[in-house]
Chain A
Amino acid sequence: MLLSVLVYGFINSVILAMVALGFSITFGISRVANFSHGGFYILGGIFTWYGLIKLGMPYFLSAGLSIIIIGALGALMYKVILIRLRGLELSEVIATLSLGIVILELLRGLGVFGYEFRNPVFMDGSVDILGVGVGIQRIIIVCAGALLLILLHFFVHHTKMGLAFRGVAQQEHTALSVGINPDLVSMLSLAMGSVMCALSAVLILPLGVISVDEGYDILIKALAVCIIGGLESTLGVLVAAFIIGYIEVLTSMYISSALTSVVPLACMLGILLVRPSGIFGKSKEIEERV
């Protein structure tokens, strides 16, 4: 029992981290809180499903195309809507949230409901870890999550565009005065966050059925993880994902599985009371020393 908490808690935590990472990356760089995250997530899953089941494309092609389309959608959302609202945080939230709701409710209206909407797992079978049987899909998720983190670290610290991302995130006008275009960087950060969102959808959705309500659930989970960890900190996202991940698994195993969906929100409210900027949030640790 304890071992299965350990193993499943770990996997659940990685899933949460993957879901939250896209949201956190976008916010950390461009300060846009992308509340259409849940909508993009389900849309990515549905596109993959449509290409795979309805059009008969190979799995990787259908998944790859969906990820690209969702990334382009994120960039388009910045270029068409958000660019006019920069700096008006509330309007940004309203715009992205409405877009997310429109996507999700449109899918509901088009009849996305039921067991039919289901992406197959990449590979059948299960492996024994510490005496607990774990499906291969979950193993793939954990490996992909680790790989994604390594790639992300390399991108941000060792490529020109990644360094430009860091520059804009820290001092927009200084970045601008050495030739970095913040609007381009913000657009790319939205594309990147959306790509990560769709990627996590492709990996995670085969574990269950694609449902519209899952979209709202994902948004709340991503938000909770980011707020608990501190909105722009990747380390914070990881730590928070593990905290919520384990509490969720413990709750479902020892209390009631009906209560698991309350866990992220309860943790989020708790953190907001104690430490509003999150565990690793920047609460002015590095004050400018003039």
Chain B
Amino acid sequence: MNMLSVKNLTVFYENAIAINKLSISVNKDEIVGVIGPNSAGKTTLMNTISGLMLDTKLKEDRRGGIRISIFGTIEFLGENISNTWPDKRVRKGIALCRERHPVFGESDVEENLKISGYLSSKEQLKESLSLVYDTFPKLLAMRRRKAGLMSGGEQQMLAIGIALMARPRLLLLDEPLLGLSPNIQAQLVEAIKKIKQQTNMTILITEQFARPLIPIIDRGYVIENGMFAFGGNKDELYGNPDVRKAYFGVDYDEE
């Protein structure tokens, strides 16, 4: 079943094109990867799917700042949500874990999670809390720690926890492995796998260096300069020598 389909999405910042006629689709129960270098448009894509781009655009318009133009459609479960505001999209079931783990720095871990359970009932909040603590036992041990004082890896775990608290059907993870040590990366990949098994969430995940993700994704898109460059299931991705060299750090003769 088709869950998310982005059709002919084009995003301009003034005259600079960030996303160029990009179409991607995500089916229910899949983990889909979007792989691309810096400035390929990964974060713009995620912010447009979650709707944050609408808010940014509005603020820029009010201020008379950068002119942002968005074309194309975004459909979620068959419904056109292109003009739906981000908080409404969360209600429909899309939650984004933003790039570079912007958590609520002044609050402790538990308060971060409680803030993010804004839309849940009391029982749901309890349930989500135990899911997050179950997935990241480290967070349970640090639940009274001020989030701003945690390390990057811990903050990333919390950021994913924050998105989980919104109880999404489609979880968007924007570069969750960025800037973290291989050890922490492995822990996070394990955690994402576990989330998938326990909740049946559909997951769309962007990354630059995709090797750690290959074991868990079903399909992947490679985007460059905001355009579709290559797509396929993980074997096809791994089988393509160019993709393998650029995004998996594996050379032709190395195996």
Closest to A85 in B: B62
B74 at interface, CB cutoff 8 A: no
Query: Closest Cβ of chain B: how far from A230's Cβ, in Å?
Result: 13
Whether the Cβ atoms of A179 and B91 lie closer than 8 Å is: yes
Contact with A along B88-99 (1 / 0, CB 8 A): 001100011010
Known A170-B106, A286-B106: A178·B163 in contact at CB below 8 Å: yes
Q: Is the CB of B149 within 8 A of A84?
A: no
A88 near B: Cβ within 8 Å?
yes
CA–CA, A215 and B92, complex, Å: 47
Query: Interface code A177-199, partner B: CB below 8 Å = 1, 0 otherwise?
Result: 11111000000000000000000
What's the nearest-Cβ distance from chain A to residue B244, in Å?
Answer: 29
Q: A157-B111, A175-B115 are in contact. Are A88 and B62 (CB under 8 A)?
A: yes
Q: Which of A87, A160, A166, A167 contacts B59 (CB 8 A)?
A: A87
Which B-chain residue is minimally distant from A177 (CB atoms)? B96
Choose from B85, B102, B149 the contact partner of A289 (Cβ within 8 Å): B149
- Chain B residues within an 8 Å CB radius of A167: 104, 115-116, 118
Which has the most chain A C-beta neighbours within 10 Å: B52, B115, B146, B151?
A: B115
Q: Mark A141-173, 1 if CB is under 8 A from B, else 0.
A: 000000000000000010010011011001101
Name the CB-closest residue of B to A157. B111
Query: How far is it, in angstroms, between the C-alpha of A145 and the C-alpha of B86 when the chains are bound?
Result: 38
Check if B118 sits within 8 Å of A180, measured CB to CB.
yes
Which residues does chain A contribute within 8 Å of B86, judged by CB atoms? 176-177
Q: Which residues of A contact B96 (CB under 8 A)?
A: 177
Distance in Å: Cβ of B44 to nearest Cβ of chain A: 14
B72 contacts A by Cβ under 8 Å? no
The answer to whether B52 and A164 touch across the interface, beta carbons within 8 angstroms, is no
> Is B48 an interface residue, CB under 8 A from the partner?
no
- In the complex, chain A residues whose CB is within 8 Å of the CB of B95: 177-179
Q: Bound complex: CA of A177 vs CA of B102, how far in Å?
A: 11
Q: Does B107 contact A (CB under 8 A)?
A: yes
Q: Which of A58-103 contact B (CB under 8 A)?
A: 84-88
Given contacts A178-B95, A178-B162, contact A164 B118 (CB under 8 A): yes
B63 touching A87 by the CB < 8 A rule? Answer: yes
The interface residues of chain B lying within 8 Å CB-to-CB of A126 are none
Q: Compute how far the CA of A157 lies from the CA of B107 in the bound complex, rounded to whole angstroms.
A: 10
A174 within 8 A of B: yes
Is B179 engaged at the interface, CB distance under 8 Å to the other chain? yes
A163 CB contacts on chain B under 8 angstroms: 111, 114-115, 118
Q: Is A288 part of the binding interface, using a Cβ–Cβ cutoff of 8 Å?
A: yes
Q: Return chain B residues, CB-CB under 8 Å to A290.
A: 100, 152, 179
Partner of B111, one of A86, A166, A177: A166
Task: Verify B151–A289 contact, CB threshold 8 A.
Answer: yes
Tell me which residues from 114 to 154 in chain A have a Cβ below 8 Å from any Cβ of chain B: none
* B251: Cβ under 8 A from any A Cβ: no
- Are A288 and B148 in contact, with the CB atoms below 8 A? yes
Say whether B232 faces chain A, with CB atoms less than 8 Å apart.
no
Residues from chain A with a CB closer than 8 A to the CB of B106 are 166, 170, 286
Q: Does B213 contact A (CB under 8 A)?
A: no
**Which residues of A are found within 8 Å of B87, using beta-carbon distances?**
176, 179-181
The CB with the most chain A CB atoms within 10 A, among B86, B100, B111, is that of: B86
With A166-B104, A174-B162: A286-B111 Cβ-Cβ less than 8 Å: no
Contact of B119 among A84, A85, A173, A179 (CB under 8 A): A179
A173 touches B63 (CB 8 A): no
Closest B residue to A83 using CB positions? B62
A178, B98: Cβ atoms closer than 8 Å: no
Contact A178 B105 (CB under 8 A): no
A-contact bits for B74-92, CB 8 A (1 contact / 0 none) = 0000000000011100110
Residues of B with C-beta under 8 A to A179: 87, 90-91, 95, 118-119, 166
Tell me if B135 counts as interface (CB < 8 A to partner A). Answer: no
B86 to chain A, nearest CB (A): 5
Q: Which residues of A contact B109 (CB under 8 A)?
A: none
Query: Would you give the shortest CB distance from A155 to chain B, in whole angstroms?
Result: 14
A173 touches B98 (CB 8 A): yes
Cβ contact within 8 Å between B118 and A173: no
**Assembly CA distance A269 to B55 (angstroms):** 37
- List 28 A-B pairs, Cβ < 8 Å: A87-B59, A87-B62, A87-B63, A157-B111, A163-B118, A167-B104, A167-B116, A167-B118, A170-B104, A171-B104, A173-B55, A173-B102, A174-B104, A174-B159, A174-B162, A175-B115, A176-B52, A176-B55, A177-B52, A178-B90, A178-B116, A178-B163, A178-B165, A178-B166, A179-B91, A286-B146, A289-B149, A290-B179
- Mark A residues whose CB is within 8 Å of B: 84-88, 157, 160, 163-164, 166-167, 170-171, 173-181, 286, 288-290
